[in-house]
Chains A and B, each alone.
Chain A
Amino acid sequence: MKRALVVSLLRLGDIMMTSPLFKKLKNDGYEIDLLVNEQFFKAKELFPEINKIYGFPRKSLQEGVANTAVPIFSPFLKVNALAASLNKNEYDIVINATQNKVSAHFVSLLRTNEVCGFSYHEDRAIFHGSWSRYLNDFNGNLDTPIFHFSDIIKNLYKTQEKQNEGVPDSEQVLRSRHIIIQLLTSDQKKSWEIASYIQLVKKLNLALPNYLIEVIGAPNEHLQLDQFAELANKENLKFKISMPTLLQAKELLKTAKLLITGDTSIKHLAAMVNTPTLEISLGSSDAYFTGSYMDGAIIVQPKIDCFPCQHSENCKKTSFECHDLIPVNMVSALAISLTEGYRKDLKVIAEEFKDKVNVYETSLSMFSLYQLLPLTTIQKEYRVEQFISSLAWNFYLSGEHNEAVAEYGSLAVQLRDFLKTTPSRLLIERLKKIESHFFSKEMSASRILDQMRNGMTGNDLVEECFKKLSFNDQVTFKERGIVPQLTRLNFVDLRYIQNSLNRVKDINMVKSKICRTLKSQLMEMK
């Protein structure tokens, strides 16, 4: 049997988001081992696809390195021993599902036939495949739509056969009258207030008297759970509090009618077992990148300029204004509709609260990629650009744009079907505008590349890139010290600029092609 090792040295939620890759590998006949940070060793029980789990002793290594009372080579020997024990397994493929230097250096210690993702050769970073490069350049550096983390990880490994990806489990699960609320997230700015949840449970008690509302949390959240219980008891609410283990939580979710949650690892667990989910996305949570990876989850987001904020930054407002924008009435109405199966009502509710909140439905069926589909008409029109970008990047990263007959037409048909409720006239106007925007970017990049070929370099080149293509918005340029008024550009910088220009040219070419195909199809319909 072929053997694969997946390296996931991030947090629990990230490991869960890697699970679509496990399924893909399993389908291709691999026996899969998983390397995770030691504290998530127990995660194995969540993934039946995993044969063996290994722990990366991050914490003890950190202590060993920082503490001068530890023999200097002790952490060295520990890493060496771990790599040696993994090498005994003779993996056919190693997939680094972590985009950080620790994992990349570690992967370079492993002997294998094939590496997918980020690794190192001596001092040189190597990105095996375009999706790995994309993940590295992501973080606001590209003028792109954002792919879901699971889609990127899944695409790091190219399967030989076309698989039925993203299609939800067709098995009908008999769900119990049970609603689960995950009260907290890992970050206060992402957690809806306990007082709001009290109001929500009150409304759910009234509307759904036969349902059990179970409020869950981790053992280290017991104080907040106690606070909830105290307030809820004062209001005579019907509820249950529990602190399940991960495996218990997975079992609960398997038959629950609905999960209401913020941006938590529990939502990824729910996605793994297809539990209908209502996600309240607040603060720094980024539903495009790490939303519920499943079909039909509902995500609500506040309409406020600062949303989503930076993960590492504290909220700059005097109070969490994004939290106040989420009306309890709306959340309860959405929850009741989802529980009772009135999905048509979701759009009506989204329209009613559209001044304050964006409501999205997740989809995995379109283009085999995670999409956030807006539930209001007006949002759809403005999301056209986002969809086209997403499609174009998928084409580009998969290398399909180089093929003689790319599937532009069939993808445009899917997009057209999705947008059918938007009047064609409006859509054609919008497409014209964005096509000319993409085309002008493609042309600008081509012109600068020509100028480079004719000898333009140094500050003139940088100024041109910054002025015409807004390269100043790309963090990597600043990190590399490529800024206007610089004295000289070395060969590596020049090659970096050239690669960036080629990418801008190609991606905008693909985008304008998709626009043109879609436009002509809409015009045929008229």
Chain B
Amino acid sequence: MSISLEVEKSRSGDIILKYDRRYSCSKISPKNEAQKWIEKNNKSFSFASDIYVIGIGSGYHIEALSTSFPSKKIIVFEQLKGAVKFFKKEFPFLSSQIEIVYESSSDSIKKRIIQQKLFANHYSLVRFYPAFSANTEINMEIEDFLLARTHEGFSAAIQQIEGLQALAKEYKNSLKDISEPISIVELNKKKSLSGSNQQIFKILGELIR
């Protein structure tokens, strides 16, 4: 992907990255922006044990995230090599703590997700919009895949999540015709679900009745 990258200073004095003349974070105060981003998404972050972020930006939101949730595993998905390089240079102390899934295309990122069994974790998924918008199409594809609300993501996820493997058989038989985005309500309509899977889907279905 040929996107030109430039480095400049924000008004607050922090070094930031520009992609094709678009800022990858706030040009005024990226640290403030990162804090606000955390406050806005706080509920999602506390929901799960791991946090998956799409878009590395200039890295300030990742730094803030790691400070706010030191015990959580953070995985960042990015397709810009230059942005990953920038992060590693600017935040060397974080590079070992945070996993970066870097590949240049959405297909290869999806492959990595499957290979690394990233669906097996209990994660919340958030976008960092300034970086996400650098390549909305590809990032949306990755997001949809990780949400497992498309058939592609759903069938990959059920192979990896403990306790859901039984769904794989049901998927072959009766779940393939569910329309996208796949929802709990639609899954509940399928009588073929059984055992504890069925009970949990019933609970979730009842909660939004």
Contacts of A342 in B (CB 8 A): none
Name 5 A/B residue pairs within 8 A (Cβ), A-sorted.
A70-B44, A71-B157, A102-B203, A108-B199, A122-B198
Given contacts A68-B183, A81-B122, A120-B199, contact A73 B204 (CB under 8 A): no
B47 in the interface, Cβ–Cβ < 8 Å?
Answer: yes
Residue among A63, A80, A83 having the largest count of chain B Cβ atoms under 10 Å: A80
Measured between alpha carbons, how far is A412 from B112 in the docked complex, in Å? 77
Measured between alpha carbons, how far is A155 from B194 in the docked complex, in Å? 32
Contacts of B70 in A (CB 8 A): none
Measured between alpha carbons, how far is A123 from B199 in the docked complex, in Å? 9
**Contacting chain B: which of A54-62, A136-144, A333-341, A353-361?**
A54-62
Given contacts A73-B164, A80-B200, contact A58 B149 (CB under 8 A): no
Measured between alpha carbons, how far is A63 from B44 in the docked complex, in Å? 10
Chain B proximity of A314: nearest CB distance (Å):
22
Given contacts A72-B154, A74-B122, A108-B199, contact A80 B204 (CB under 8 A): no
Measured between alpha carbons, how far is A123 from B182 in the docked complex, in Å? 22
Q: Which A-B residue pairs are the 4 nearest by beta carbons?
A: A77-B122, A105-B203, A105-B199, A105-B202
Measured between alpha carbons, how far is A33 from B120 in the docked complex, in Å? 30
Q: Which of B125, B196, B208 is the one whose CB lies under 8 Å from A66?
A: B208
B7 in the interface, Cβ–Cβ < 8 Å?
Answer: no
Interface size class of B (residues with CB under 8 A): 35 or more
Decide if B161 touches A73 in the complex (CB within 8 Å). Answer: yes
Decide if A72 touches B183 in the complex (CB within 8 Å). Answer: yes
Main secondary structure of the interface of B (DSSP, over half): helix
Decide if B147 touches A78 in the complex (CB within 8 Å). Answer: no
Main secondary structure of the interface of A (DSSP, over half): helix
Q: Could you tell me how many residues of chain A have their Cβ less than 8 Å away from some Cβ of chain B? A: 33
Contacts of B123 in A (CB 8 A): 71, 74
Contacts of B206 in A (CB 8 A): 100-102, 105
Within 8 A of A (CB), among B172-209: 181-184, 194-196, 198-208
Residue among A66, A71, A75 having the largest count of chain B Cβ atoms under 10 Å: A71
A69 in the interface, Cβ–Cβ < 8 Å?
Answer: yes
Decide if B149 touches A60 in the complex (CB within 8 Å). Answer: no
A243 in the interface, Cβ–Cβ < 8 Å?
Answer: no
Residue among A73, A74, A105, A123 having the largest count of chain B Cβ atoms under 10 Å: A73
Q: Bits for B122-164, please: 1 = Cβ < 8 Å to A, else 0.
A: 1111000000000000000000001111000010010001011
Decide if B208 touches A65 in the complex (CB within 8 Å). Answer: yes
